[in-house]
Structure 1
Amino acid sequence: MTDLAADRTDDATLRARVAEALARSRARTTALTDAVDDDDLTRQHSPLMSPLVWDLAHIGNQEELWLLRDVGGREPVRADIDALYDAFRHARRDRPRLPLLPPAEARRYTATVREKVLDVLASVPLHGAPLRTGGFAFGMILQHEQQHAETMLATHQLRPGAPVLAAPPPPPSAGMLGTEVCVPGGPFEMGADAEPWALDNERPAHTVDVPTFFLDAHPVTNGQYAAFVDDGGYDTARWWSPEGWAHRREADLRAPMHWRRDGAGWAYRRFGHDGPVDPAAPVVHVCFHEAAAYAAWAGRRLPTEAEWEKAARHDPATGRSRRYPWGDDPPTRAHANLGQRHLAPAPVGAYPAGASPAGVHQLIGDVWEWTSTTFAGYPGFAAFPYREYSEVFFGPRYRVLRGGSFGTDALACRGTFRNWDLPIRRQIFSGFRCARDPRPGEVR
């Protein structure tokens, strides 16, 4: 095969991959928005979240801006609505009062944009300009749609009323796990250079020397967290930072979001269904302050972002950094709980094939994991293609989360992917695991 023929084959493969991912992402968006009636679509179920109909049209508007107008050079479909769906112009709490597209019109708009985008995909070269090379702009928009799908899933969790979503339960645990794993110190490559759809905050790859540390073999479970609650963890200021304790008191936090007492135990309302809290599943819907307080109570701490990524990516046998804990192959159903296949975290030990070489489990999927690190750019960071994706959030206000949740699609989850949020947020599918430093003489 000539180089030109090989290039054409690779180009066709990339276009087919993008087309499949566009269809799959849109099917998820459609399922999340068609599951409720128009009243639910336009209602705001929490001031922390947009009405679902805003997310729907915003997805189409971002696709129009970047793929249709920028990459494709096509005429606008609806330039008149750009300001309505600019996330930086309107806070979520204010969006219900905007003159948003009604549900039927929002659906027609996103369908029209998608039809034109598929024509762009079939015709534009996927090389040359940075946005086109490797299909980057398509990958960016695909990840954007899947991120909003997870946001819409979180809105469904906050929505009152009868259940409208269904999924099979996650697999059971495959067996008992150890409590913690020692990750030897030394340098590793953090971040991404070769990942074609890695976003700007994941770049560039750089060497980080991480001292030896111990990391929980699995996320903190509901059973473990319930022990903290029952031991008076929410009533004891010494486990909390001053900022965390002030927030605990102001917000009257007493347990993870959606937990309620059920006799001597705990119950949980998940997507309209009530049931007992599974003690073997990772705790979810806790904020950074709650995670840090638990860690202090347990005599441990939250891992740094670099520690988390080293545990998730470093292969001690080869010294290289993998894409995922299990290797470079994309996640399968055997590796991780991703993509809304299930509507809950799986019990710890449910995905032995997804463990890292050191024996750390469920680093990918189930729950986003809080780290102790504030959000900042890596050395040599360059904003691309716009500052508002990452750079405007850099600083001490935001904490980094890693690993993805049961609601995260594999497109928007890899060993280098970085999420961030305010430390008080817990409507997201957030959990954590703990780390600790070696004790004197424990490691040679």
Structure 2
Amino acid sequence: MFVRTRALSEALVAPLSDADTTVQSMADASPAKWHLAHTTWFFETFILRDHVPGYTLHDARFPFLFNSYYEAEGARHARHRRGMITRPSLDEVLAYRAAVTAAVLDAFDTLPPAIVDLIELGCNHEQQHQELLVTDILHVFSENPCEPAIWTPARKQPVEMPPAINWMPGAAEVCEIGHEGAGFAFDCEGPRHATLLSPHAVADRTVTNGEWAAFIADGGYRDARHWLSDGWAWVKADGVEAPLYWAQGEEGWTRFGLDGRRAIDPAAPVTHVSFYEADAYASWAGARLPTEAEWECAAATHDPASGNQMDDAGPVEPRPSTGGPAFFGDVWEWTGSAYRPYPGFRAAEGAVGEYNGKFMSGQFILRGGSCATPRGHVRASYRNFFYPHQRWQFTGVRLAKDL
């Protein structure tokens, strides 16, 4: 897993120039070069420095440059200024990666099981950054007036519009959610606990581009009735009229993706929408967003490795549904649940305890993974989280309703 994960990160940047990997297009995003270095710093710091006797840092400057938010690790470069790190170069960062990867592999057989578990955490951490790397470079390229493509557009096969949403009833019952038992999970996914569900139904698929275009045409972005107060203020302040990367031309709506600008696919899942937009659409549709408990209980019997997820460094794009309920891949699905600790949650000791717990404020839960999530990374209990205005990730919408 370690070797495969490290190789995928490097394959993702192979089509990029040094300049492509250095630019930071907004404060929420990080340069691709920084992602490569930060994930390497994680292994160097928490595995090699802390648990391999005699290890010497590859470069004493790097901890300051590539620490993200770990207060226990001391001072660090400001997040919004990561694009100022023009040096070290991409080649130097790749050399740093190669050295740390080799050192971890050399030490692997001497490490106790608890530290091998920490390597597994590091691999899952790097997989998260692989998705961020993809979405961050998409945002970088969207800011370039040339709108370059990183991958050659795939040939489009005609796909029929999916049938109308089929509502899957959920019983009023006590349901257990959260991770327990064998297999990796982040600390915020547990403890497993009981939660009470009211009678409800969950849609068997996510909302499509075509359905979202109907919301726009019906004045969805101009009607305050559908919006939360904070969401309406955000729409007005930022002049939001459509999902991120959409533009309207003479022939209709287009979207910018990693394969350049193309006409929207009406049958594909809508993506790059904020929690505010997701909530407004649900209101317009006479529905609501599912709670994370409703989502997890509905998804528990589905295969987390199924669906359109990232298998290699090839094209990344949400694809039309091919039939049957799908809960994993394509787009992260906003829920109506705030990111808060489960009953009995305790953060781990030490710096790694800063990984999730301290962010449990002001954010909302997303479930299911996306087309940019490495396959094998998600599970039914997986909790992703973003602020309600953020939409540069592959975020989409599944509806729910009360019964």
Please, which of 10, 13, 18 is the counterpart of residue 33 of structure 1?
13
2:366 equivalent to 1:393: no
Give the match's secondary structure for 1:215: strand
2:391 equivalent to 1:420: no
2:129 alignment counterpart: 148
CA separation in 2, counterparts of 1:418 and 1:167? 31
- Measure how far apart 1:28 and its partner are: 1.7
- Measure how far apart 1:177 and its partner are: 6.3
1:222-233 alignment, distance < 5 Å: 222-233=209-220
Amino acid of the structure 2 residue aligned with 1:184 = A
- Measure how far apart 1:197 and its partner are: 1.4
- Measure how far apart 1:111 and its partner are: 0.6
Please, which of 329, 338, 341 is the counterpart of residue 377 of structure 1?
341
Amino acid of the structure 2 residue aligned with 1:229 = I
Question: Does the 8 Å CA contact 2:199/2:402 hold for their aligned counterparts?
Answer: yes
2:151 equivalent to 1:165: yes
CA separation in 2, counterparts of 1:182 and 1:302? 15
Question: Does the 8 Å CA contact 2:200/2:402 hold for their aligned counterparts?
Answer: yes
Give the match's secondary structure for 2:244: coil
2:298 equivalent to 1:298: no
Q: Deviations over 1:189-231 (max 9, x none)?
A: 2111114311100011111121221111100111111111110
- Superposed CA RMSD in Å reads 2.2
2:10 equivalent to 1:44: no
2:207 alignment counterpart: 220
2:309 equivalent to 1:338: yes
Unaligned runs of 5+ in 2: 70-75
1:184-203 alignment, distance < 5 Å: 184-203=171-190
2:81 alignment counterpart: 94
Question: Does the 8 Å CA contact 2:23/2:83 hold for their aligned counterparts?
Answer: yes
- Measure how far apart 1:58 and its partner are: 0.7
Question: Does the 8 Å CA contact 1:169/1:344 hold for their aligned counterparts?
Answer: no
Give the match's secondary structure for 2:64: coil
2:57 equivalent to 1:65: no
Question: Does the 8 Å CA contact 2:366/2:385 hold for their aligned counterparts?
Answer: yes
More deviation in 374-383 or 34-43?
34-43
2:72 alignment counterpart: none
Question: Does the 8 Å CA contact 2:22/2:86 hold for their aligned counterparts?
Answer: no
Unaligned runs of 5+ in 1: 1-20, 314-321, 353-360, 439-444
CA separation in 2, counterparts of 1:119 and 1:140? 19
Q: 1:436 to 1:90 in 2, by over 3 A?
A: farther
Q: 1:277 to 1:68 in 2, by over 3 A?
A: same
1:434 alignment counterpart: 399
Amino acid of the structure 1 residue aligned with 2:358 = V
2:250 equivalent to 1:263: yes
CA separation in 2, counterparts of 1:249 and 1:195? 47
- Measure how far apart 1:243 and its partner are: 0.4
- Measure how far apart 1:263 and its partner are: 2.9
Give the match's secondary structure for 1:233: coil
Please, which of 361, 367, 379 is the counterpart of residue 331 of structure 2?
367
Q: 1:286 to 1:119 in 2, by over 3 A?
A: same
- Measure how far apart 1:179 and its partner are: 2.5
Q: 1:399 to 1:167 in 2, by over 3 A?
A: same
Paired residues, number: 386
1:4 alignment counterpart: none
Question: Does the 8 Å CA contact 1:301/1:434 hold for their aligned counterparts?
Answer: yes
Q: 1:223 to 1:56 in 2, by over 3 A?
A: same
Amino acid of the structure 2 residue aligned with 1:367 = V
2:49 equivalent to 1:83: no
More deviation in 69-78 or 277-286?
69-78
Give the match's secondary structure for 2:363: strand
Q: Deviations over 1:124-180 (max 9, x none)?
A: 232xxxx33xx4212211111111111110122121343223575798679746432
Amino acid of the structure 2 residue aligned with 1:163 = A
